[in-house]
Structure 1
């Protein structure tokens, strides 16, 4: 009887351990930093998702940022390893210490440098399985043969799974980077559609910007960097104003090229019709006050800003680069134009400014497209399935 009782108690303990294990999977997100940008916002939201099933920690290599502080306030562990310039071999030891302390089943590395150091840290710690996600491509997209051989010979083998945010990026990972094709799948970015589709603050935000209801307002959201090419949008806007004198342009974001773009707008005489709003927490309110979204990037993977604009039922004028055609259906949800081409961008803007009915139809189709393919729930659900596969957990419903 005592043996039976002991066996029964052992079985109960094992079942309790299994329940505890299944209640909370540990995932370590390895990133450059947590300032407010597209990839970082996705990591921020993933850290807050599946909170009943998953315990997340963030490891920042280069900087922390405002999103890291917000996660700390919500009880999420945030580690900061202060990577030095150049090849910092000490990072491997620091990351290994974090892995041993936190004990993740999955180590999710975002972008190449976090992947390299995360793989080194995992190798030293001897635990956890790696998912590598590439969120975007460098511009110009040049990969040396040494880099490719290193990926093929060592780095690509360190990840148990690899994801790209669009088919364009998946192709580049395989063809240019030498990553193993059988490991790479596409998980499209997703956004909280409900947050952006309300449109309740249109009047307030237009009053704040000094814009009347008769004006067509174009908005562009993104960091001011050369690759985002806001300068082309400003030059195109000059041509738009020659035909549509009440048109307005709004830029949301900060960055190294903001000063030069302000200067350009003034030199071209359109600074009075452009609002540079800087970094904002209320992007959804600003989108509700706009009539049209613009994106003039020279290179782009799967733009979160575009998804947010489409969720707000805005038609889109966007450059046909990278993964943008996978997001925007030309002639259905927006107009695709040539990157760096002022005439092409201006033509797309004027086509939609001059036809309110077309704008509204495209905006509605874009909203429906995001709901079907690019919702936050779809993205989180697929990543959870990948985490479960890597950790050896069963996925509910399978």
Structure 2
């Protein structure tokens, strides 16, 4: 009874990705006296990524859910929740939304669901079956939040979540870890266009590769210096490698898979690119901005909320390699221009997207709901008090 309440984070997997990275940051940074944490993966966890959790005593449970409908996973989750006895279930994205009733049956008093993005099969959240499931699950959650204004508007208009039951919780960034490089590039150094994130269809890296090929054609004098770096793992990584090889640019396109030194790699970029067809608040773009990189991104989801068009980067239509190439070109041609725009991006991150503010907002949500539903719970001070 003297222990802090337990929050169970329910996610599809615990592996390298923007959602998962910020989940780990909240676990590590939330005051130890406020909440304990555990993670339940519907599928599996990546041991290398799991080691990023520095907080002691965080249990990780894997349910090994098979693809498709798996009623046995509901039973496995029920048993896990009955054993762990959490005060809060925090479920993430569509993959975990259906488990609200299980948490209720298991006696979890506070249930929270977060919308952090969508997949390539339904980038705009129009799938009627998925949305019917989301609407059916709303009564089982005490709060349904979004990490971007566009996603919050969709929750309220399409999923019919009331204003009282929904809120915006923006992403945060560690501006100490992600910092600008020291000094300008050396004369004749490679000009790297880069991106970081899961290599999956929703990120549309194929369009970024096509834009890179167009840029090489538009600027033949820079062809030997131009490089493209796509950092991350995912289901279409091998397809992307094959596509680069078929285009004859395998030596100019770096696709290393997962890396643990992303902060250092970002400092080798000239410009950061996001070619997604759907996004929540893009943590990768915030990391790039904190590194003082200009960001060229598609005008989808939460990207326009992060990138101030013409000030901290450039916005382009999705699935338009020509527009993407044209937007990247000024930064490729002028390092000083890229540095000025990148500096404006870092200043924006410092003003609006601090890691402390993000952690405090999540803790405040937990505190409010726990106080309402478990009145004997005395909220701990938040990390900004």
Q: Choose the corresponding residue for 1:89, options 71, 74, 93.
A: 71
Aligned to 1:236: 211
Matched, 1:348 2:327: yes
SS at structure 1 position matched to 2:257: coil
Deviations 1:211-239 (A, max 9, x none): 97533211111222222121222221122
Task: Please give the alpha-carbon distance, in whole angstroms, between the structure 2 residues aligned to 1:133 and 1:378.
Answer: 17
Q: Choose the corresponding residue for 2:242, options 244, 260, 263.
A: 263
**Structure 2: runs of 5 or more not aligned:** 372-377
SS at structure 1 position matched to 2:202: helix
Aligned to 2:18: 38
Aligned to 2:60: 78
SS at structure 2 position matched to 1:329: coil
SS at structure 2 position matched to 1:294: strand
SS at structure 2 position matched to 1:275: strand
Q: Choose the corresponding residue for 1:216, options 191, 196, 200.
A: 191
Deviations 1:292-326 (A, max 9, x none): 11111122121111111111110011111111100
SS at structure 1 position matched to 2:145: strand
Task: State how 1:177-188 maps to structure 2 within 5 Å.
Answer: 177-188=159-170
SS at structure 2 position matched to 1:218: strand
Aligned to 1:171: 153
Aligned to 1:396: 381
Q: Choose the corresponding residue for 2:40, options 38, 59, 69.
A: 59
Task: Please give the alpha-carbon distance, in whole angstroms, between the structure 2 residues aligned to 1:155 and 1:48.
Answer: 29
Q: Choose the corresponding residue for 2:365, options 377, 383, 386.
A: 386
Aligned to 2:87: 105
TM superposition score normalised by structure 1: 0.85
Task: Please give the alpha-carbon distance, in whole angstroms, between the structure 2 residues aligned to 1:165 and 1:385.
Answer: 15
SS at structure 2 position matched to 1:302: coil
Give how far 1:69 is off: 5.4
Structure with more relative contact order (C-alpha pairs < 8 Å, separation 6 or more): 2
The answer (yes or no) to whether the contact 2:195–2:273 under 8 Å persists in 1 is: yes
TM superposition score normalised by structure 2: 0.88
The answer (yes or no) to whether the contact 2:199–2:236 under 8 Å persists in 1 is: yes
Higher helix share: 1
Q: Choose the corresponding residue for 2:338, options 351, 354, 359.
A: 359
Aligned to 1:11: none
Deviations 1:35-62 (A, max 9, x none): 1111111112222222232210111111
Give how far 1:361 is off: 1.4
**Structure whose alpha-carbon radius of gyration is higher:** 1
Task: Please give the alpha-carbon distance, in whole angstroms, between the structure 2 residues aligned to 1:297 and 1:221.
Answer: 12
Deviations 1:136-190 (A, max 9, x none): 02333354545545544x4101111111010111122222223333311111111
Task: Please give the alpha-carbon distance, in whole angstroms, between the structure 1 residues aligned to 2:354 and 2:171.
Answer: 8
CA, structure 1 residues 333+42, in 2 after alignment: closer, same or farther (shift >3 Å)?
same
Aligned to 1:309: 288
The answer (yes or no) to whether the contact 1:137–1:169 under 8 Å persists in 2 is: no
SS at structure 2 position matched to 1:188: coil
Give how far 1:261 is off: 2.0
Q: Choose the corresponding residue for 2:28, options 48, 52, 55.
A: 48
The answer (yes or no) to whether the contact 1:216–1:291 under 8 Å persists in 2 is: yes
| CA RMSD in angstroms, aligned pairs only | 2.4
Matched, 1:332 2:317: no
CA, structure 1 residues 224+174, in 2 after alignment: closer, same or farther (shift >3 Å)?
same
